[in-house]
Amino acid sequence: ERQKPPFRGNGLEQRAARLRAIPAAEVLRRIEQGDRDWLGKLRGWGRHAEGADLLVVQNALLEERDPLKLAQLFAVFGGRTLPVFDARLLEHGESPDHELRRLALHALGKNTHESVRRYALERLSARPSDPTLLSRLVHNYARGDERQIDAALVAQPSDAAAHALVWSLLDIYERN
């Protein structure tokens, strides 16, 4: 009969410890080299990294101009807030690069900040059927935003867009 290996603790805790042990300089080096194998690790690393390491990555985010590298840097913050919110990062929500725009808006939407709320409401006025903008209000909703949200309840161009809209609405109302 086969024996079970000895219990070695929670696998998630071990993974988090391994990710925390990776210094920010290594993450930046991999992004600079264009290491595509690291794309999946960036969000996990960001979720478990220490504040000082995240600040190093955020500073690189403020200085970088290459859309591919910017997208990867934003991926680090896909599962948590920025160490210090900087409204200059909102400009990437207007990028012509779809992936950069998507990752930037996703990361920035995790932050509770008046600039994020204002950004989302201004864009919703211009593009009321854009379901990605609603998700920026999950952490930035204020009483009275219902009128703008109601305007987004229009026919969506696809099932995927309708799905995103409904999930954003659920997230907003559950949190607020």
| Interatomic CA distance for residues 10 and 7, integer angstroms | 9
Global pTM value = 0.83
Per-residue confidence (pLDDT) for residue 31, from 0 to 100: 95
Residue 12 half-sphere exposure toward CB, CA atoms < 13 A? 1
- How confident is the model over 118-154, as pLDDT tens digits? 999 998 888 877 767 888 899 999 999 988 888 777 7
pLDDT tens digit sequence for 92-111:
999 999 999 999 999 999 99
Q: What are φ and ψ of residue 13, in 5° steps?
A: -65, -40
